[in-house]
Amino acid sequence: MHEAELRGELERLRADTPGVAGALATSPDGLVLAVDAPDLEPDGFAALTAAAAAVGVRLTGAAGQGDFRELLVRGDAGGLALFPAGSGILTVLAAPGADLPGLRPEARACATRIAHHLSPTEAHIV
């Protein structure tokens, strides 16, 4: 895994997708793998991302809803979405007024590419 490759994927997502304000790739245990999110303290945010993803996994499992696919969170000034990315987690920050569910196709494609960078054999998991 190369941080520069992951960061390139995040930068491309933000540049090519209207409404994406930033993105972060983390490990399930809360380590920052790559970040493209201005004005974000990545280490603390990565820990929160890992905790939120773990809750998503437990909730979907407890409810019998299958594998965790995404977690959407909306706030007064935007939102964010978490997606599994093989052995990592992709967090996408949405700008105020952005169509958060509408970011799914591009975000999932980015998560697949991140999964491939982390482990080519895991890319199909996303």
Domain that holds residue 101: 3-125
pLDDT at 1: 54
Question: How far, in Å, are 6, 21, 30 from residue 116 at the CA level?
Answer: 10, 23, 19
Condensed to tens digits (0 to 9), the pLDDT of residues 88-111 reads: 999 999 999 999 999 999 999 999
Rounded mean pLDDT, 9-26:
96
DSSP H or E run through 59: helix 42-62
124 pLDDT band (50/70/90 cuts)?
A: very low
Condensed to tens digits (0 to 9), the pLDDT of residues 31-72 reads: 999 999 988 999 999 999 999 999 999 999 999 999 999 999
Q: What is the CATH number of the domain that holds 116?
A: 3.30.450.30
Give the number of domains in the chain: 1
